Amino acid sequence: AQSVAQPEDQVNVAEGNPLTVKCTYSVSGNPYLFWYVQYPNRGLQFLLKYITGDNLVKGSYGFEAEFNKSQTSFHLKKPSALVSDSALYFCAVRAFFNAGNNRKLIWGLGTSLAVNP
């Protein structure tokens, strides 16, 4: 079955420290991978995506993610966390479900990031 796993419900880091939010996936074919961030009572904001090319993808707000095909992972990283990074982070993969052009996003359950001052 096609799926996305975010193994940590919550991640706590101190401001200024590096952060990692983990994501692994299982999908048929080449994965299209995404990270979104959600602040309280707001919609989802796009951070970055991997389609093809360099395994290290740079995105918004200083975030980056590394695609690792052998480990089927797409972990989100930031060298120095800010208190304002505290939010809910979702990993998603675009997968085929039917013949033709019918693709959908499969979502992880989300990881709550808390950055402490």
Partner 1 sequence: DAMVIQNPRYQVTQFGKPVTLSCSQTLNHNVMYWYQQKSSQAPKLLFHYYDKDFNNEADTPDNFQSRRPNTSFCFLDIRSPGLGDAAMYLCATSRRGTNGYTFGSGTRLTVV
Q: Applying CB under 8 A, which residues contact partner 1?
A: 32, 34, 36, 41-46, 49, 51, 88, 90, 94, 101-102, 104-105, 107-110, 112
C-alpha closest to that of 6 among 93, 83, 78, 79: 93
49 versus 77: smaller Cβ distance to partner 1? 49
CB of 46 to partner 1, least distance (A): 7
What is the smallest separation between the CB atom of 13 and partner 1, expressed in angstroms?
19
Q: Which of 60, 77, 79 is nearest to 68 (CA)?
A: 77
84 burial (CB, 10 Å; 0-12 / 13-18 / 19+) is: exposed
Q: Which is nearer to partner 1, 41 or 70 (CB)?
A: 41
